[in-house]
Chain A
Amino acid sequence: MTFAVDFENVSRHFDAVKAVDNVSLQIEEGEFFAMLGPSGSGKTTCLRLISGFDRPTSGHIKIFGETSDDLPPNRRAVNTVFQDYALFPHMNVRDNVAYGLMVKGEDKSTRLSKADEMLALVKLDAFGDRKPGQLSGGQRQRVALARALVNQPRVLLLDEPLGALDLKLREQMQEELKSLQKTLGITFVFVTHDQGEALSMADRVAVFNEGRIVQIGTPHEIYEAPRTRFVADFVGSSNVLPPELSARLGGSAKWSSLRPEAISITAPEHAKASGTVKSVRYLGSVNQITLQLDEHEISVSSPVGVALPVIGQTAGLVWKDAALHAMDDA
């Protein structure tokens, strides 16, 4: 089977810095794939390796089965939505979108009508004559999207596509991107440091740390069954329990993850464990309660409306056995 994007033991070293370190990764055709990680974890470098702006120090990248090592960016069947959008300020929106077709030599009427079609797809039909400087951040983002999609790429790369938008707009664009990808059926690869974004949009997520992939899986697998302490903590900030505590709480003697929302507060006599309440923070949709269990801190997300424990008193904790997840990582 040919993959849309296939990394074979790819490394990219900048002198002593291993930005990408021996990464192997297969992205299937039509997949919405997220590369998730903190800044400096190598995810953006991976994206630049696919687009051709950077070349691997070792290893190979195949795009639809074709080795891309010697292909310059302008001859790859991929297009990019840049983090800062990189719209051309001296051209109006329609010419921006038509640019890719113009440099390929399409005649003027064809390329302008295709550009207008694409602008309609991103709901900007009325803005063709404006300059990018006259648009809001969200509109510029849509122009960047239309400008990439008009070239009918087989893979669309998105570099922190929603990073510059405010929360409300970001949520709206998440849904639109998702439905756009379904409609077009092409492969989307996007880079983000926002775990919420990755979980809500992607079919599969690769979690990056220090140039390596720590875990690849569906959002469900990543969240429910983190493979390492890093994943458990980075994706949804879990309670990471050391082996001895895990064993004492009825789990296996391994590093384990226990999600804050999987724990309920109860009276100490019915509880699996109990601890002293240290703090209670109101976060709107939930209350975040921190308890002290011997030398460990456990945080609990408790739905609003459930009776709150009093700070300084002892409270009991219960959870379903399956929620205490043992990890491979030492």
Chain B
Amino acid sequence: MHSSQRAGLGLRLAAIAGLLFLHLPILLIFLYAFTTEDRSYQFPPPGLTLKWFGVTWGRADVWEALALSIKVASVSTLIAMVLGTLCAAAVSRARFFGREAISLLVILPIALPGIVTGISLRSAFNLADIPYSTLTIILGHATFCVVVVYNNAVARFRRLSGSMVEASMDLGANSFQTFRYIILPNIGTALMAGGMLAFALSFDEVIVTTFTAGQQATLPIWMLEELVRPRQRPVTNVVAMVVVLATFLPILGAYYLTRSGSDTAGSGK
């Protein structure tokens, strides 16, 4: 009887090994943020220090990269939330020719390898004579951010009982009021979750950024450049820690927001 309650020893060992394999490298990165040695990553670290946090704090290039990353992630998330919601509303509410095709086309950017997206965007920008800038990075990121928001929103829209929107209209509300008072409160958490995931995706994106950036460096690009230089290496580790935390928290938030989502909408029957 016990075997159905508890996993066997072998299975438990395998699970532990799997988890270690996934997470030990991340812990190592955290560890080297405290090392006293700054040219090569020798193991074990010769000593531990907090001085790299101070050094990182004082480096203007880190702040620049961080500011750019936050700006790019925020704006592309914002674009994605507007476009993704509208698209999800259209696909789940209306029936029109090519609906399934549009649904597939919206999801495609996340299925495509980033390098394909990157190259195609780069040639598109070239053709249109758009100079590489913050704007082009934002546009590049928005392509996959839209997908994340769309996916979250479309699932919630499907659960939203169609007659609720009709009931709102029937009671005298116009389209804007219906959106504001009925649709938004019911899809709000899904939108937040989608937005957070989009932000996290954009914040650590490298490939598309490489193709669409000009001279600017987002945080991940800055880290890539920094690794090549054997000077003040632990600064990279400190920044990596920040990136891990900055992307982990929104993802955790998104998880909690959508977890209880099943009883927020469409269960009024």
Contact = CB atoms under 8 A, between A and B. Distances in A.
Interface stretch (B31-39, B72-80, B81-89, B170-178): B170-178
Contact of A74 (B174, B182, B265, B266): B174
Interface residues of A, number: 29
A280 to B, nearest CB: 41
A84 interface: yes
B7 to A, nearest CB: 37
A226 interface: no
Given A74-B169, A99-B171, A89 B265 contact: yes
Contacts of B268: 84-89, 132-133, 140
Interface string A85-122: 11111100000000110111000000000000000000
Interface residues of B, number: 24
B120 interface: no
A239 interface: no
Contact of A86 (B163, B172, B186): B163
B57 interface: no
Interface in B179-225: 181-182, 185-186
B101 to A, nearest CB: 22
Contacts, number: 82
B171 A151 contact: yes
A174 to B, nearest CB: 21
Nearest to B266: A89
A80 interface: yes
B2 interface: no
A188 to B, nearest CB: 15
Contact of B170 (A74, A88, A140): A74
A89 B167 CA distance: 12
A219 B164 CA distance: 33
Contacts of B174: 74, 103
Contacts of B181: 88, 99, 102-103
B147 to A, nearest CB: 27
Contacts of B170: 51, 53, 73-74, 79-80, 148
B185 A90 contact: yes
A73 B267 contact: no
B159 to A, nearest CB: 10
A227 interface: no
B151 interface: no
Contacts of B161: 84, 86
Nearest to A72: B169
A27 B98 CA distance: 42
A82 interface: yes
A79 to B, nearest CB: 6
A104 B167 contact: no
A74 B173 contact: yes
Interface in B130-185: 161, 163-164, 166-174, 177, 181-182, 185
Q: Counting chain B CB atoms within 10 Å of each CB, which of A86, A99, A140 scores highest?
A: A86
A252 B268 CA distance: 55
Interface in B250-269: 263-269
B169 A88 contact: no
A151 B167 CA distance: 13
A82 B167 contact: yes
B171 A89 contact: no
Contacts of A99: 168, 171, 173, 181
Interface string B106-147: 000000000000000000000000000000000000000000
A147 interface: yes
Given A84-B163, A103-B177, A103-B181, A133 B168 contact: no
Contact of B182 (A72, A80, A88): A88
Given A53-B170, A86-B167, 19 more contacts: A53-B169, A79-B170, A79-B171, A80-B167, A83-B163, A84-B268, A86-B161, A86-B163, A88-B167, A89-B186, A89-B264, A89-B268, A90-B186, A99-B173, A102-B181, A103-B181, A133-B267, A140-B268, A147-B167
Interface of A: 51, 53, 72-75, 79-80, 82-90, 99-100, 102-104, 132-133, 140, 147-148, 151, 164
Interface of B: 161, 163-164, 166-174, 177, 181-182, 185-186, 263-269
- CB-CB nearest 6 A-B residue pairs: A100-B171, A86-B167, A86-B163, A103-B173, A89-B268, A73-B169
